[in-house]
Amino acid sequence: MTLHRLELAIPNLRTIKSEKPRVFDWDALSRELGTGIPGDFKELAESYPSFNISDFLALYIPEPGQEVAYAQSWKDDERLASLHADDLTYGYAPYPAPGGLIVWGASNEGDNFYWRTNDGDPDSWTIVVEGRNDDWCTYEGTLTDYLAGLVTGTVTTDGLPSDFPGRDPVIDL
């Protein structure tokens, strides 16, 4: 379980864990979005609200009952669409284009974090990081594995501050 790996990497994450599982209508979100979403993200959302890591990276997690609005916001990524229209995304396109990007987080310095979708299983989606300095990096794994790897040092911080997130990152809402 990759959520367990993330909780081991960031023990203080558990301080904001919901007492009871958060219940979502994943089918409604998937219908609105036009695709499923990765299982590790569902597990994360069912356990945690939106949170920030080290006052730098904000994760976008829906609130129960807001699944359709959340999916609509994913589909209407005007910033990424504008960059793509200006040919500034190095071939990446916003979802719903084949292999399109769906944002799942952003930093307070202008970095954006995406899933790169594919025609197959959402659990095989990869991570794309758009760095504020026009760095575009990829990670071949899940969102929770990526975050755990940043903390444990098994994932490079390509384009991100070299001290992020640190070995004991602060977690806040």
CATH number of the domain encompassing residue 162? 3.40.1580
| Spatial distance between the Cα atoms of 76 and 171, rounded to a whole number of angstroms | 28
Query: Looking at the whole model, is its pTM more than 0.75?
Result: yes
Angstrom CA distances, 22 to 28, 42, 48, 146, 149, stand at 15, 10, 8, 23, 25
Residue 113 contacts residue 103 (beta carbons within 8 Å): yes
pLDDT tens digits, 100-124: 999 999 999 999 999 999 877 999 9
**pLDDT attached to residue 1:** 60
Domain of residue 51, residue span: 2-172
**Total domain count, the chain:** 1
For residue 103, give the amino acid letter: V
pLDDT tens digits, 8-17: 999 999 999 9
Residue 57 contacts residue 113 (beta carbons within 8 Å): yes
